[in-house]
Amino acid sequence: MAANAGRAMTEPEVVVFDVNETLSDLTPMGQRFVDIGAPELMAKVWFASLLRDGFALTAVGSSEEFAALAAGALRSVLTNVALDRNVDDAVEHVMAGFPTLPVHPDVPDGVRALRKLGLRLVTLSNGSTEVAERLLSEAGVRDQFERLMSVEQAGVWKPAPGAYDYAARSCDVPPAAMMLVAVHPWDIDGAARAGLRTAWLNRLDALYPPYFSAPDCTAASLPELAAKLSPAERLEAGRAAGPASEGRSS
């Protein structure tokens, strides 16, 4: 059974954003690989590899900084690839692209709309807070966030429960008062199992894996999520769900 089965949609106090891919747009990284003579698709292989290795270390009770794993995974995927420069220079070129990534087009308006609802906004990333700081500052929405958090301070990567517990303690609220927003189903599942509300940001009209805890809410963009969390929308949703749902949310 899903970790959030039977839960009614209620307004969270704190919205916790994942950063990489949820707020930042990794699409330009494909060109960085093309620049060094590698296939554009290798950008996705690289990012998946570094997440895999981060999860593996977490599973055995260890951890490593995101940047170190990113560079190490990059060297691994570039092995035996016919590059147009030496490996050190290739790694440097690709890694230099990460701090320059933009936000997705829906982020600025969506973030401001969520903040206008009176929600507290924070981030929780497997990467560094410095990356989130630059990303949000460049997008003109840094002032909308009260706190930027990294698992580096938690000592354990998401989706381990300790990462979400760290966020709840830092914000001085119980997990149930928080809603994680992420594009990654594994992050949604981890947060749900840690007691958080969850919102899956499904920009690509993808299929949610049935073996993960289902999200409390799904939206194609952040403005759509803000609309779904607005008091009027939640009231209408409650009426449509009927008395049983109202009883659960009381």
The tokens of 108 are what? Answer: 């600025």
Domain ranges of the chain: 14-24+101-249, 29-100
pLDDT score for 1: 41
Q: Which has more confidence, 38 or 249?
A: 38
| pLDDT tens per residue across span 107-157 | 999 999 999 999 999 999 999 999 999 999 999 999 999 999 999 999 999
pLDDT tens per residue across span 175-226: 999 999 999 999 999 999 999 999 999 999 999 999 999 999 999 999 999 9
Q: Do domains 14-24+101-249 and 29-100 have the same CATH topology?
A: no
Q: Which CATH class is domain 14-24+101-249?
A: alpha beta
- Does the pTM exceed 0.85? yes
Q: Band of the pLDDT at 231, cuts 50, 70, 90?
A: confident
SS3 24: strand
Q: Is residue 166's pLDDT more than 50?
A: yes
pLDDT score at 209: 98
In CATH, what number does 29-100 get?
A: 1.10.150
